[in-house]
Amino acid sequence: MAKYKIAWMPGDGIGVDVMDAARIVLDALKLDAEYIPADIGWEFWCSEGDPLPQRTLDTLAHTDCALFGAITSKPKEEAAAELIPELQGKGLVYTSPIVRLRQTLNLHTNLRPCKAYPGNPLNYRDDIDIVVFRENTEDLYSGIEFHPVPAAVFDAFLQHSPKARRFADVPLEQMAVSVRLVTEKAARNIATQGFEYAKKFGYKTVTIVEKPNVIRETSGLMVRMARQVAKNYPGIELWETNIDAMCMWLVKNPQNYGVLVASNMFGDIISDLCAQLVGGLGFASSGNIGDHYAVFEPTHGSAPKYAGQYKTNPMAMLLTVKLMLDWLGELDMAVRLEKAIAGVIEEGKVRTYDMGGTHSTLEMAEAVAQKL
């Protein structure tokens, strides 16, 4: 029996292309794993009314972790219109399967390293090494949303917050509410994950990115928890910045930062910003990590216009494989893979279109495999 069982979820569009690239590299590494295909994505929404069928969750339950490509998501009305005729008009509502995976499996930590590899023509600077820890299950993504706003909900606002009075004349169907819910547990956890990582990999600072001067309660709680956690890590400095200023600082002096910690929404924003500093979506890897399970995925989506063309950059996916190897404890393989990736980037002989080259997704993966 193989040492690991890994759920294999290519999903939609270029998810398939980059997962083929991942397989080339995993085979070259000779990881002792069985790869178990699992259904996820748009075609299952259209044909079954569920982009994340129960059988997929059952498969995940019997694996060590999952590797995932990308999915296509569309707005509510458009999604409903693409259901097969038999499923139309049944009130099925599309929700993103990846957001659901994160919440159902409590994959509370979103890890997004953004490192500039020397020789990448897309680097903003060559000395950037930032790791974003984004809380992955709460905040504005908690899914507690109202439109129209139920009268009982608005009455509760009026009763408990004088600030709600300003909106008392607005008809309930003319307003929408998305709840930003943050728990101490999740806030403490994401800060702890950030500090642990900083300690393990030698980063000198952890920066909490929030907005407590305006969003007093939720951002306030995030910062308070970060301060508490920081006390356990005397060698590592806690920096506190506001999300808006941080976007500016990340463009001005990205080389000054190490680990960044943020709530779900702000973490989403800064991780895209940081990804672009080191080459963009073609280089952005991520892990959704829980206590006992993890789903690894490149940050990019299904890029429909490139689907099946094997043109897009597999490095985001290959760096994602590296994160998976780290998490599985296959540290030697992870180091070898990162060196091979860095080697191919530095040589600059094999490059996909985004790097100014003409090589294919699989040629790039083959080049990495050769170095292994």
The residues that touch Mg ion, with contacts defined as CB under 5 A, are 268
Residue number, nearest CB to ligand NAI: 301
Q: Whose Cβ is closer to ligand NAI: residue 17's or residue 210's?
A: 17
For 221, the token pair is 């709680």
Under rule CB under 6 A, residue 56 binds ligand NAI: no
Q: Whose Cβ is closer to ligand NAI: residue 229's or residue 319's?
A: 319
Under rule CB under 6 A, residue 72 binds ligand NAI: yes
Q: Whose Cβ is closer to ligand NAI: residue 239's or residue 283's?
A: 283
Q: Whose Cβ is closer to Mg ion: residue 59's or residue 136's?
A: 136
Under rule CB under 6 A, residue 275 binds ligand NAI: no
Under rule CB under 6 A, residue 305 binds ligand NAI: yes
286 binds, among Mg ion, ligand NAI, none (CB under 5 to 8 A by kind): none
Among 110, 123, 264, 312, interactor with ligand NAI by CB under 6 A: 312
Among 207, 241, 301, 310, interactor with ligand NAI by CB under 6 A: 301
19 binds, among ligand NAI, Mg ion, none (CB under 5 to 8 A by kind): none
Spell out the SS3 assignment of the chain: CCCEEEEEEEECCHHHHHHHHHHHHHHHHCCCEEEEECCCCHHHHHHHCCCCCHHHHHHHHCCCEEEEEECCCCCHHHHHHCCCHHHCCCCCCCCCHHHHHHHHCCCCEEEEEEECCCCCCCECCCCCEEEEEEECCCECCCCCEECCCCHHHHHHHHHHCHHHHHHCCCCHHHCCEECCECCHHHHHHHHHHHHHHHHHHCCCEEEEEECCCCCHHHHHHHHHHHHHHHCCCCCCEEEEEEHHHHHHHHHHCHHHCCEEEECHHHHHHHHHHHHHHECHHHHCEEEEECCCCEEEEECCCCCHHHCCCCCCCCHHHHHHHHHHHHHHCCHHHHHHHHHHHHHHHHHCCCCCHHHCCCCCHHHHHHHHHHHC
Give least dist CB 15 to ligand NAI, A.
Answer: 7
Dihedral of CA 39/44/48/54: which sign? Answer: positive
268 binds, among Mg ion, ligand NAI, none (CB under 5 to 8 A by kind): Mg ion
Query: Candidates 59-67, 69-77, 160-168, 191-199 — which segment interacts with ligand NAI by CB under 6 A?
Result: 69-77
Q: Whose Cβ is closer to ligand NAI: residue 73's or residue 264's?
A: 73
Under rule CB under 6 A, residue 241 binds ligand NAI: no
Among 193, 288, 302, 360, interactor with ligand NAI by CB under 6 A: 302
Q: Whose Cβ is closer to ligand NAI: residue 154's or residue 310's?
A: 310
Q: Whose Cβ is closer to ligand NAI: residue 229's or residue 317's?
A: 317
Q: Which positions touch ligand NAI (CB under 6 A)?
A: 70-73, 98, 281-282, 297, 300-305, 312-313, 316, 354
